Structure 1
Amino acid sequence: MPWRTPRNVLFHRLRTPGSRTGFLKTASVCALLAGLLSPLTQQAAAAEPAAVQATAADDYCGGQCSDILPPGQNGNATLVQILLNQAFGTQPDHAEDQLGPYADLATGYSALTDAKINTFFNDASFGVPADQVAATEKPAGRTDVTIVRDKRTGVPHITGTTRYGTEFGAGYAAAQDRLWLMDVFRHVGRGQLTSFAGGAAANQGLEQQFYRNAPYTEADLQAQIDNAVAQNGDRGRQAIADVNAYIDGINAYIDASDSGRYFPGEYVLTGHKDSITNAGTIEHFKVTDLVALASVIGALFGAGGGGEVDNALSLIAAQSKYGVEEGTRVWESFRERNDPEAVLTLHNGESFPYGTRPADPKGAALPDAGSVTQEPLVHDRTGSAATASADGASTEAARTAVGSARRGMSNALVVSGEHTAGGHPIAVFGPQTGYFAPQLLLLQEIQGPGISARGASFAGLSMYVELGRGQDYAWSATTSGQDIIDTYAVELCQDDYHYLYRGTCTAMEKVEQKNAWKPTVADGTAAGSYTMRVWRTEYGPVAYRATVGGKKVAYTTLRSSYLHEVDSIIGFQMLNDPDYLKGPEDFQTAAQHINYTFNWFYADSRHTAYYNSGSNPVRASGVDAEFPVWAQPAYEWRGWDPAANTAAYTPPAEHPHSVDQDYYISWNNKQAEDYAAAPWGEGSVHRGNLLDDRVKKLVQAGGVTRTSLVKAMADAGLADLRAEGVLPDLLKVINSSTVTDATAAAAVSKLQTWVSAGAKRTETSAGSKRYANADAIRILDAWWPLLVKAQFEPGLGSDLYTAFTANLPVDEAPSAGHGPTGSHAGSAFQYGWWSYVDKDIRAVLGEPVQGPLAGKYCGGGSLTSCRDILISTLKQAAGLTAGQVYPGDDQCSAGDQWCADSIVQRTLGGIKHGNISWQNRPTYQQVVEFTAHR
């Protein structure tokens, strides 16, 4: 019998059949409950496990390891639990018990002490004390593995006596906690979500988002497994054995939950199972499903680069306005690809050149002006699909909420033991993977032959802990974003579907996925269908069409991790292996086996370390990776084998890396000097500065503690980057003369008061749902886009200004639905024009600027004219009401400032949770200080 009745999740609000707006009515719910709550399910819900002491492996953390992952461990729910949640708001056990502590840190961190840390985090020690055991289970009756659940969080602690049994238990526990979500994402990875879960707009947008970038066939998926095994010897063979055991565990749970009728209720609501007869099937998992899952996770979090076509379009716009030489200079100044004022993770002065601008660029294939069109993905729409937007529904729930996870990711604060009170390194770090119900990650502890770890893993890929702690060390990651994606211009021949490949006219390969759906209880859309079609070349899938010098071309996208989604499994296996990982050098070697673009951080009782992972291709001499290049041998990656998509990669010594730097911070900022292949926006003001400024002060003072480092993270996580990093200079311009206008003067006073108070977006008191300095926050939220446009558009011209905003959005405040993260996504201030505003305003003030913009834009460089622009736009902003600044959405009423910022756990199933107050921090987070070492 399972430890508790699992629960589940849907993509949309539950609706009565035929209704497009209403929740299942309370009366209908009540009528269903008695018939649906089977005796077997009732017995499972009431079962009380015996108290059994969990077996703990060697733990050198001394009770000083903690973690948190909202909303809760339990991501499955029966149909009954979903209906109760939708009707009455009740929650299954452990569905949201980590959400409250996570949320409370925003108002509780100022009074934090070491003794209070586990008020806001979980104790992440190995094992479970006897009095804290909630359930003990031998999955499928096996004698070689035990799953123990703790009372506080319900996290599974998996202990195996055989390697097979250990991995079987990991798969079983994962299915207990995330079966529906795992099923959803294996279908997303294949481009089959709508056929599986219904044709709602969010489902269409989600499957289209990923299929365009990873249009794999079943043969492609299998080949990746075969290659990973063949290329990695004993570790490769062990990895595939672990995967097979893990899948056996998943399938054992599917069978048990099906026969016991406690499977996730979404299977009923999407028509896969009948709630009365139990007819229908939950398909078993297979190895290639995990490759499909990995392709989604890799595309979200570990695929930096791309955007070459957008770069080309903005360069063309700049050259059109200023001429080639001056236009290129202007473009480069806004690109900030190697800005000397950028905050660095490695601040020790060591240089790691990569992606820098070549002195004499070669092979560029810039499109003719006005010739670029995006390659259509969706064809042959019928039924409800016929009325959808071209290329799929770009809904907030799909493309912005899930897509935001890739854009707004993660932070790390790591301090060497030389600067801590206890003499041991301290780390506060974790990934920002977005906020979902259920969460994309799950928590677990795995103890077995060759495995000893606790932490977070992506659901469906949790055969190893991917971010967490071992016996005497911990590790985490942030998205690094360095460029492993290039765009090639393949010259067309014969027709639009043949191209020149090394001198031969070659047919493109057509890959299609046909999807059809029927209406379901969970989805009010009518039946429909469409076909997704991708044309593949040796240089990757076709993304755009254009002409270059009058020649017809297709622009393709080639990613170094394409066809290599599972290669990183070896690195994660090493990170979990206590017999392998003994210190920082071993950690760096393990990270070198991860081909996705991440910054990896490490701490044990004596050392800290950092390594930037990713398969960085060695580009041909003279190629500028910022722009499309011709698909010709002279401009291909060095050593490139198109059949396997392998190439020569930069060696580990050329990746940013370090051991025992005084401290490390990362918030998706620039890694090191001359490491230039990064996203736009890594300039003088970056959210990484919010961490760096605070941690540097702690290190200079000495005696850093877990409490002080958590406080630094939390304080930075409530700061408005624009207000802390840019607003003081804006006010300096305005106050360069007496402000005589009453409206402007009142606004300036409010903004100055807010800056003096710390420039944070915090509640007046816990649970008040009202910000302190609310008017000042409203004014800045309204002012920022107005002032940026007024500051830059007159000098750049509307065409170039628009082109630059396509490269880098103007704003990404918490409530900014127009920013990359969408609204209610938590992560904020990663992408925006704060560096441009900062450099320009300082130049107008006559202050020194390293790496300045190509010209002075605010008021044409005149302090008086700039001041007039700032005051004019400030008055306009001050006159906007809260309802105009925060117009309301499906979560919030117009004018509700707190709600507009609030974090929403976006539903990927049937269980919903309440909003929490905004804070800018990782989704999963660890606080660690090891006191001893093996």
Structure 2
Amino acid sequence: MPRRTPRNALDRLRTPRGLHGFLKTASVCALIAGLLSPLSPAMAAGNGSAEVTAAEAAANDHCGGQCSDILPPGQNGNATLAQILLNQAFGTQPAHAEDQLGPYANLATGYTGLTNDKINTFFNDASFGVQDGQAASTVRPAGRDDVTIVRDKKTGVPHITGTTRYGTEFGAGYAAAQDRLWLMDLFRHVGRGQLTPFAGGAPANQGLEQQFWRSAPYTEDDLEAQIESAAAKAGERGELALADVDAYVAGVNAYIDASDKGRYFPGEYVLTGHKDAITNAGTIEHFKRTDLVALASVIGSLFGAGGGGEVNNALSLLAAQEKYGVAEGTKVWESFRQRNDPEAVLTQQDGSFPYLPTPDDPQGRALPDAGSVEPEPLVYDRTGSAGAAGATDASAEAADTAVTSARRGMSNALVVSGEHTASGHPVAVFGPQTGYFAPQLLMLQEIQGPGISARGASFAGLSMYVELGRGQDYAWSATTSGQDIIDTYAVELCQDDYHYLYRGTCTPMEKVERHNAWKPTVADSTAAGSYTMRVWRTKYGPVESRATVGGKKVAYTTLRSSYLHEADSIIGFQMLNDPDYLNGPERFQGAVQHINYTFNWFYADSEHTAYYNSGDNPVRAGGVDAEFPVWARSAYEWQGWDPADNTARYTGPAAHPQSVDQDYYVSWNNKQAKDYPAASWGNGSVHRGNLLDDRVKKLVAQGGVTRTALVKAMAEAGLADLRAEDVLPDLLKVVESAPVTDPAAKTAVDRLKAWQSASGLRTETSAGSKKYAHADAIRTLDAWWPLLVKAEFEPGLGTDLYTAFTRNLPVDESPSAAHGPTGAHAGSAFQYGWWSYVDKDIRSVLGESVKGPLAHPYCGDGDLAACRDTLVSTLKEAAGRTAAQVYPGDDSCSAGDQWCADSVIHRTLGGIKHGGISWQNRPTYQQVVEFTSHR
């Protein structure tokens, strides 16, 4: 197995040298003090033996015991220094740190024998309250008498019950800090671009702060203004939201004080030099309102901001026009872009929701001159020179963090109306994918108090409300929709490189900087250092790159509708938690209309289902094509745009894809509705959304759908190889259009057909075997896909255009396709790839009907025999690749270990490490719900 190189301060603890180094540094007294002094947080906070059943909450529970959920690896994301050391030395886990990982993992092999009474073998009971005899601890935080936090024995999930609104939110903040204080602290620094002074200067830490701060380079005044603005626009609800935030922050700070006094704070504070293990010297900074906005900017950037990429689009369009000429090149580009592909799977099945139609005569385009685009430097050294030593490596390391896997997303939803279920009540299996972390970004909780009644998941540090979960008689969830709310403007430079024309006036850019310095930590030997991050801001957003357009010097800026509005969505979440407000699907849609991030929202109660696509969709100027950069001139600005606070006219609620009581809904980050353009490339005839749609459509046609049937459909889709299910059949038709006489090719074909007949699933031979059934076929397809795509398309497109298109959309995203530092072990797969291009091209070669075909044939230039030669030759080459060549090994896996290459590994953001599990293309947090009654 290759030697592992530590990538950040905490990662270094996992190496023998790192642990040995720490033990040498720490005295025996310090170690003993670390091992003996921490009490459990519940004990130190005054754990009592009384059991609270939350009888009032249970009385309002209309789920009838048929609501379940799961969130791996576990509820507890905090660990003392002693617990971290024991985990690194012996693999022991703190209580409730990993107890949801096993059931989650086991569904991959256990779903085939699933029955309704076995669902909670793989999920947790999500009923309200704690059953008698199942309370593990009862805490009145900070001695308050208006709130109680009860944790159940099985999962340690906090059930927060308050008699006052303030007390309820205080308890929510306290419980969040109990479970995720270190993670919350980490990400408030990420959001401010100040992670390295907090956690050390390792390249991964530099990469994290660089990646996010470029898109949200906020000052403290910006952060404060955002939350005040969000509250001011919402009247009484806004005032209530501010009060909730203040109470929540007070609860977080009460736990910080209690854990500091009791010395059971997270051990990472010692390892990063913020606390002394012996003297307890040092401080953990209190939280404030603006910290929550900084946190929200990270979460919004990850999951709720669709669009962008206009400069890359322009570069590939220019490459297409260079290859084919302007008219034909544009046609070729559009066929690969697939903005509104007629064969794309849809979430909203009926109606048309036109948005951003392709203009016949585009206005205001500002395409760069060939070879002129240069990315804007972000990092400067102490002298002010761009490109400080190590900066490039640090930026690259950002892709090696958990952020990359989270950004890929694999949130999905399966919702069936009561008309087609066995019980007559709707059934839903849904959840968001936020990546796999240790500790997890999301945390579970139940909140019961005046105006709040919900259980579910929330992002750590933003859990004053349940963000995805269930209320008294309804449940809701979301998937990332990614419609286009981001535009790129070409601002003309004047005077020098740091002034630009704004509505005819030469205007200085605003310089925003972060001067970050760090020193070595106990757990990391990275040398002391410093650098400056610098972003130039304009009225049209931060500068991303520079170029010339028709010989004029420009800066390309990026403007998103949620920029300077990270806190606006708080009102929508408040409404989702309010039982007095939310009483049916229409109110649900009304609530999520207040969420300005780009999400698909799904709802189910005992009678109805509903869907709504949220986001502040700016109304573009007439004739503007949002796919490409446009000139920063009044004629091409968003309609009604006010640069002072980045507000504009937005499309009204009726223009957003939505419905109530559709037969069924499926979503896996696919296209939302007819004429609602896909913001990302690759929404064509083959999309992983098809894996859900095909299965749920079949269940609905049969009728009598149950929770078990819907879970099985989700689980099987999560194990399916999209290429094997939806593209391989046609590839084999071409290969077998003449007898396959070559022995190697014939063996490969036979193996692929046998795997295909077994549904093309990537499943173990038996639970825990860590070996795939049909391993050779899987290896062959993993090797074949990139070879066949290149051989199929590059000759016709030419190297330059083929390369440009692969920058818009990667060729492959099998579970191990991103093997290495750019997303291996992320779980998410088959969201981005050339599946539709291959499918449409091969079907055209076979003479089949293709709606929305590519502009030209590519495989064999459209000749079946020539195409077959291409596929057979690449198949033979792929079949000859060894497992070690296809799965080259990394820090976690030996070369040739196929199962391990696919495996899901929780990426450490703290001191605790978890083991890998078999691959599943599945949401992180997931609910299974079927309400039996309604208020």
Instruction: For 1:437, give the aligned amino acid.
Output: A
Q: Following the alignment from structure 2 to structure 1, what is the Cα–Cα distance between the partners of residues 513 and 211?
A: 15
Compared CA separation, residues 16 and 835, structure 1 to 2 (3 A): closer
- Shift, 1:360, TM fit: 1.5
Counterpart of 1:507 in structure 2 is 508
- Say which SS state the counterpart of residue 673 (structure 1) adopts: coil
Gaps of 5+ in 1: 1-8
Compared CA separation, residues 783 and 31, structure 1 to 2 (3 A): farther
- Shift, 1:531, TM fit: 0.4
Instruction: For 1:347, give the aligned amino acid.
Output: Q
Counterpart of 1:206 in structure 2 is 208
- Shift, 1:21, TM fit: 9.1
Report the RMSD for the aligned CA atoms in angstroms: 1.9
Say yes or no: does 1:339 pair with 2:305: no
Q: Following the alignment from structure 1 to structure 2, what is the Cα–Cα distance between the partners of residues 371 and 43?
A: 57
Q: Following the alignment from structure 2 to structure 1, what is the Cα–Cα distance between the partners of residues 283 and 367?
A: 51
Counterpart of 2:517 in structure 1 is 516
Counterpart of 2:266 in structure 1 is 264
Say yes or no: does 1:858 pair with 2:856: no
Instruction: For 1:129, give the aligned amino acid.
Output: Q
Alignment of 1:659-698 (within 5 A): 659-698=660-699
- Say which SS state the counterpart of residue 354 (structure 1) adopts: coil
- Say which SS state the counterpart of residue 392 (structure 1) adopts: helix
- Say which SS state the counterpart of residue 651 (structure 2) adopts: coil
Alignment of 1:118-517 (within 5 A): 118-348=120-350, 350-380=351-381, 387-390=389-392, 392-395=394-397, 398-399=399-400, 401-517=402-518
Compared CA separation, residues 391 and 824, structure 1 to 2 (3 A): closer
- Say which SS state the counterpart of residue 140 (structure 1) adopts: helix
- Shift, 1:33, TM fit: 4.0
Q: Following the alignment from structure 1 to structure 2, what is the Cα–Cα distance between the partners of residues 11 and 377?
A: 23
Q: Following the alignment from structure 1 to structure 2, what is the Cα–Cα distance between the partners of residues 657 and 365?
A: 34
Compared CA separation, residues 408 and 11, structure 1 to 2 (3 A): farther
Compared CA separation, residues 160 and 341, structure 1 to 2 (3 A): same
Please list the CA deviations of residues 630-649 of structure 1 after superposition, one character each: whole Å capped at 9, or x if unmatched.
00000000000000100000
- Say which SS state the counterpart of residue 41 (structure 1) adopts: coil
Please list the CA deviations of residues 763-808 of structure 1 after superposition, one character each: whole Å capped at 9, or x if unmatched.
0000000000000000000010000000000000000000000000
- Shift, 1:16, TM fit: 10
2:61 aligned to which of 34, 59, 62: 59
- Shift, 1:15, TM fit: 3.8
Compared CA separation, residues 874 and 242, structure 1 to 2 (3 A): same
Instruction: For 1:102, give the aligned amino acid.
Output: Y
Q: Which 10-residue stretch deviates more, 683-692 or 15-24? A: 15-24
Instruction: For 1:37, give the aligned amino acid.
Output: L
Counterpart of 2:102 in structure 1 is 100
Q: Following the alignment from structure 2 to structure 1, what is the Cα–Cα distance between the partners of residues 682 and 488?
A: 21
Alignment of 1:39-50 (within 5 A): 39=37, 41=39, 49-50=48-49
Q: Following the alignment from structure 2 to structure 1, what is the Cα–Cα distance between the partners of residues 876 and 10?
A: 41
- Shift, 1:593, TM fit: 0.1
Q: Following the alignment from structure 2 to structure 1, what is the Cα–Cα distance between the partners of residues 202 and 849?
A: 53
Please list the CA deviations of residues 793-849 of structure 1 after superposition, one character each: whole Å capped at 9, or x if unmatched.
000000000000000000000012269971100010000000000000000011000
Alignment of 1:661-740 (within 5 A): 661-740=662-741
Q: Following the alignment from structure 1 to structure 2, what is the Cα–Cα distance between the partners of residues 400 and 268?
A: 22
Q: Following the alignment from structure 1 to structure 2, what is the Cα–Cα distance between the partners of residues 518 and 18?
A: 22
Counterpart of 1:526 in structure 2 is 527
Confirm or deny: 8 A CA contact 2:210 2:533 kept in the other structure: yes
Counterpart of 1:622 in structure 2 is 623
Compared CA separation, residues 632 and 403, structure 1 to 2 (3 A): same
Instruction: For 2:317, give the aligned amino acid.
Output: L
Instruction: For 1:395, give the aligned amino acid.
Output: E
| Seq. identity, % | 79
Counterpart of 2:921 in structure 1 is 920
Q: Following the alignment from structure 2 to structure 1, what is the Cα–Cα distance between the partners of residues 8 and 314?
A: 40
Q: Following the alignment from structure 1 to structure 2, what is the Cα–Cα distance between the partners of residues 874 and 447?
A: 59
Q: Following the alignment from structure 2 to structure 1, what is the Cα–Cα distance between the partners of residues 393 and 534?
A: 11
Q: Following the alignment from structure 1 to structure 2, what is the Cα–Cα distance between the partners of residues 18 and 500?
A: 57
Counterpart of 1:34 in structure 2 is 32
Please list the CA deviations of residues 366-401 of structure 1 after superposition, one character each: whole Å capped at 9, or x if unmatched.
000100010010001699x954142733126x5553
Q: Following the alignment from structure 1 to structure 2, what is the Cα–Cα distance between the partners of residues 45 and 799?
A: 64
Q: Following the alignment from structure 1 to structure 2, what is the Cα–Cα distance between the partners of residues 11 and 442?
A: 24
Instruction: For 2:544, give the aligned amino acid.
Output: A
Please list the CA deviations of residues 506-563 of structure 1 after superposition, one character each: whole Å capped at 9, or x if unmatched.
0000000010100112223111111000000000000010000000000000000000
- Shift, 1:403, TM fit: 2.5
Q: Following the alignment from structure 1 to structure 2, what is the Cα–Cα distance between the partners of residues 328 and 820?
A: 35
- Say which SS state the counterpart of residue 352 (structure 1) adopts: coil
Q: Following the alignment from structure 2 to structure 1, what is the Cα–Cα distance between the partners of residues 771 and 604?
A: 38
- Shift, 1:481, TM fit: 0.5
Alignment of 1:483-882 (within 5 A): 483-817=484-818, 822-882=823-883
Q: Which 10-residue stretch deviates more, 888-897 or 405-414? A: 405-414
Compared CA separation, residues 27 and 501, structure 1 to 2 (3 A): closer
- Say which SS state the counterpart of residue 849 (structure 2) adopts: coil
Compared CA separation, residues 717 and 633, structure 1 to 2 (3 A): same
- Shift, 1:292, TM fit: 0.3
Compared CA separation, residues 849 and 264, structure 1 to 2 (3 A): same
Q: Which 10-residue stretch deviates more, 39-48 or 425-434? A: 39-48
- Shift, 1:131, TM fit: 1.1
Counterpart of 2:4 in structure 1 is none
- Shift, 1:38, TM fit: 3.8
Confirm or deny: 8 A CA contact 2:379 2:388 kept in the other structure: no
Instruction: For 2:425, give the aligned amino acid.
Output: H
- Shift, 1:932, TM fit: 0.1
Compared CA separation, residues 476 and 18, structure 1 to 2 (3 A): closer
Counterpart of 1:5 in structure 2 is none
Please list the CA deviations of residues 384-432 of structure 1 after superposition, one character each: whole Å capped at 9, or x if unmatched.
x954142733126x55531321222300000000000000000000000
Instruction: For 1:133, give the aligned amino acid.
Output: A
The two structures have a TM-score, normalised by structure 2, of 0.97
Q: Which 10-residue stretch deviates more, 355-364 or 174-183? A: 355-364
Q: Following the alignment from structure 1 to structure 2, what is the Cα–Cα distance between the partners of residues 121 and 626?
A: 42
Please list the CA deviations of residues 63-101 of structure 1 after superposition, one character each: whole Å capped at 9, or x if unmatched.
000000000000000000000000000000000000000
Confirm or deny: 8 A CA contact 1:602 1:608 kept in the other structure: yes
Compared CA separation, residues 391 and 540, structure 1 to 2 (3 A): farther
Please list the CA deviations of residues 136-175 of structure 1 after superposition, one character each: whole Å capped at 9, or x if unmatched.
0000000000000000000000000000000000000000
- Say which SS state the counterpart of residue 675 (structure 1) adopts: coil
- Shift, 1:751, TM fit: 0.5
- Say which SS state the counterpart of residue 402 (structure 1) adopts: helix
Please list the CA deviations of residues 566-602 of structure 1 after superposition, one character each: whole Å capped at 9, or x if unmatched.
0000000000000000000000000100000000000
Confirm or deny: 8 A CA contact 1:14 1:24 kept in the other structure: no
Q: Following the alignment from structure 1 to structure 2, what is the Cα–Cα distance between the partners of residues 119 and 433?
A: 23
- Shift, 1:44, TM fit: 6.6
Q: Following the alignment from structure 2 to structure 1, what is the Cα–Cα distance between the partners of residues 535 and 89?
A: 42
Compared CA separation, residues 755 and 626, structure 1 to 2 (3 A): same
Please list the CA deviations of residues 641-677 of structure 1 after superposition, one character each: whole Å capped at 9, or x if unmatched.
0001000000000000000000000000000000014
Gaps of 5+ in 2: 1-6
- Shift, 1:34, TM fit: 2.2
Counterpart of 1:4 in structure 2 is none
Confirm or deny: 8 A CA contact 2:75 2:157 kept in the other structure: yes
Please list the CA deviations of residues 231-285 of structure 1 after superposition, one character each: whole Å capped at 9, or x if unmatched.
1100000000000000000000000000000000000000000000000000000
- Say which SS state the counterpart of residue 806 (structure 1) adopts: helix
Confirm or deny: 8 A CA contact 1:513 1:533 kept in the other structure: yes
